[in-house]
Each structure stands twice: as C-alpha cells, then as structure tokens.
Amino acid sequence: MMQKRDPFVALVLEVVGGFFGFLGLGWIYAGRPANGILLLIGYWLLDWIIGLTLSLVTLGVWCCIWPAQNLLFGAISGYLAYRWIEQS
C-alpha cells in the first residue's frame, strides 16, 4: 500500500528548491519522479539560457530579478504539485 504524501511538504520543497534553482524536487517527493527530473533538467537549461541572455541584454540588471523568477516558478510548480497530491 502506498503511503499518502503530505501536499504541504511538496509545496515547500518546490518553493525552496525552486528558489535555489532545483525545481522538481516537490514532484519527485509527490511520487512523480519522471516529471520531477524532466522539470529539473528542463528548468536548468531554460533558466540559464534565458537568464544569461537577459543578463547580457540588460547589462546585469536581470541578476537582481533572477531570484524572484526562481521563487515565482517554484511557487507555481509547488501549487501544482500540492493540487496533484490532494487530487490523487
């Protein structure tokens, strides 16, 4: 029998992990490891490509916004992981 996962833990893992650039940890905890690993690798690639491009274009100003971007994406992904656990 599969144990019920706590949706709040998934939310916190996604928000904190997302802030530090490790989006997908909450999905791995939620029992969706393939989704979590794809999100982790995909976010690393997109985050760095977009972040470096915007940093060059804005002469480094984007570096001040980058943590907020990670927090925002972590919050959105965490909310979705939270909802997924609640519905399953």
- Per-residue model confidence as pLDDT tens digits over 9-30: 999 999 999 999 999 999 999 9
Residue for token pair 């491009």: 53
Higher pLDDT residue, 81 or 88? 81
Three-class SS of the chain: CCCCCCHHHHHHHHHHHHHCCCCCHHHHHCCCHHHHHHHHHHHHHHHHHHHHHHHHHCCCCHHHHHHHHHHHHHHHHHHHHHHHHHHC
- Per-residue model confidence as pLDDT tens digits over 36-81: 999 999 999 998 898 889 889 999 898 899 899 999 999 999 999 9
